[in-house]
Structure 1
Amino acid sequence: MTQDAEVDALVRARIRGLRLAKGWSLDDLAGRCHLSPSTLSRIETGHRRIGLDQLTAIARALGASLDQLVDSGGDAVVIKPHHHPERGITTWVLAGEQGRTGMTVARMRVTRPASRRPEDLRVHPGKDWFTVLSGTVELVLGDRLVVVEAGEAASFSTMVPHSFGARGGPAEVIAVLTPDGERTHVDN
């Protein structure tokens, strides 16, 4: 099967799956996107090519974007860690939405302490948020040191020079990062 055929089959399956998840019949969706039920049936089963105007109407009726219907990036089942031993961080990128929000969700295991050296403090547009799953995290914000324990969360403007690290042993966090935060904390 060619990549185009795979994407085509995926789009058709997503249309049918979204329709069924909403509990709609072919008639229900047809009324919402102004196509005939037989046309929708042939689209879902692969007996008719999908025109862009039809796909747009179907996506709108289903409450989905065109990107969501045609994205063939594949959903990861196994998420492999990215080790950064020089920084003392291992990351698992759990979700990256480069579409509407641009946010990335990552699990991080932090083993090194936070640096207070001015040259190690990062500044970038956006806002970071994290919650500590285990251990204790030191968050350096300018000249302030904030201690965040397991079960607590922190949110801060990343325009403040900052760094974070583990205190008294490894710490695990779930972080929500803006695109600049992802590049700074995950990619480096």
Structure 2
Amino acid sequence: MREVHEIERRLAARLAELRAARGWSLDDLAAKTAISRSTLSRIERNEISPTAGLLGRLGVAYERTTSQLLAEVEAESPELLRAGDQPVWRDESTGFTRRMVSPPQAGLRAELVEARLAPGADIRYDEPAVPGLEQHLWMLDGTLELTIGSTKHVLRTGDCLRFRLWDRTHFHNPGVLSARYALTLVRP
């Protein structure tokens, strides 16, 4: 649990650094993300942990995927990342868990993530953090309703959906069991 708190502390500091590097005030960032100034301030002071949705909106503002934001605050990754050492991030409020399976490396474009959505979980992203991001979503267990723009896909165990992300997305687990999937992200 200590590692989780350390990652959250470093994430808060990194988000404050990114804003400062752009010369944005909290009001500027609030206008870009539709996140209240007070919430942004509390995130940067590590008083609260951002939800998956908030982290997604911050990623859009900073032109980074959620994985990239999280990778920037983790220790330098080796080429081999053992299962027990793979960083896990949880959004308790939405029932979303994200495990960074592949070690993030500067200069490489692809990453592999394992995600879990609790039964009934519902996450929306208004726009992609990186427009044109290629994604391959492979359902490992359960059912996932993924809406990209206005197109809804119902994915079940073993299904794989390949797409480029240009529009808003909505992830929903309509089942009574967790939905678990592997997601490969390839930056343009």
* Structure with the higher fraction of residues in helix conformation: 1
TM-score by length of 1: 0.49
